Chains A and B, each alone.
Chain A
């Protein structure tokens, strides 16, 4: 197997002081190959560590333990040229389409600065052409967007320009953190379409970080469900959303408000009400305090990931008779159903 494009190796991220701390991500191992043109969702509640994982991959946080490797080299040790290449190849789209713009500059800036920094164009007209091309790719009319200020555009338009910017750099990996959560429901589909088009047409692997399982189901191929920094269930998104196996995934999926009055919320009262639990003392499975299926073993030792089917695994003792999925082979379950 070739060297992965980006790799998390036993990454743990802890915030806080020695006395009072939060483990945001615990012992995460995961690799993304360059030629893996799929969409992977990282999902979980607030505080599950999903954004932390994205920030670590983008090099905005450094891991407390373990390392993040770009083409086999730890991020902290990249030389200038490799770092430059890393910055170009790994791109991001963030949550807030208002915060990424400087209100004093025209939106052109967001596109022209990367062209300048990465020397993508030899002349001004070439730069302009690139910008127009990128905007058209995400379904925007250049004449209606270029030359405007951020406040003159809608949230959906601004978010699509952010996607266009990422596209401009022909990235090898795109990390998007809640790209549609601040956009009106009716505009979500256009942004998701733009993202999926980018993924399909250019073969760019895409990480979709979200708490919204509805859009995750529609856009992605695979899913990683996190709960308090640990992987609960991982595998094919169709199989997992349609037939969740881990008790936590069951809770999440049953809480999706499907737009169908005949398909009401399901699930047990017990799990739903017990959300406020202290996490410090938990040695076993993190979900055990809320889990209706828990037994002694759950409270003593955290479970491994057990294979359920060939395309998914869950970290739950209910499946302890099955084969163990090694953490470093997490992507083994990323196979089409």
Chain B
């Protein structure tokens, strides 16, 4: 299956929910959706054959003022689909980082939503156990993966001091 064919199938599957579909480097497909529709989109994608969340990526666009949440879905059971990764992406405002959980649709998102919570301070409403997973609570308070958190050991800062 060529990526264009998969894009067509996703288009007919999601209808108006898919605002924009992009193909990156032939095997990564990014589907832009609205925050409100994310649960419905996830349900349809799961029925379609994308059975697990390979990883949950959050990108901080500080200047533009939003977080981009990307659920990168993969397939184990369907050989054709397993070649591709489909990223379901949506933006949420940086000053109000609240969104819905997909835990009840994709169990594999469990710890990853907790990771996004500790590193970016994003609240996933409805997640049954939203605690930091890797960081200790005082460090999680600093939201270390946000772009306004400056790494102290930044090699450039050290170089400037000399």
Indicate whether A and B interact.
Answer: no
Chain A residues proximal to chain B, CB less than 8 Å: none
Chain B residues proximal to chain A, CB less than 8 Å: none
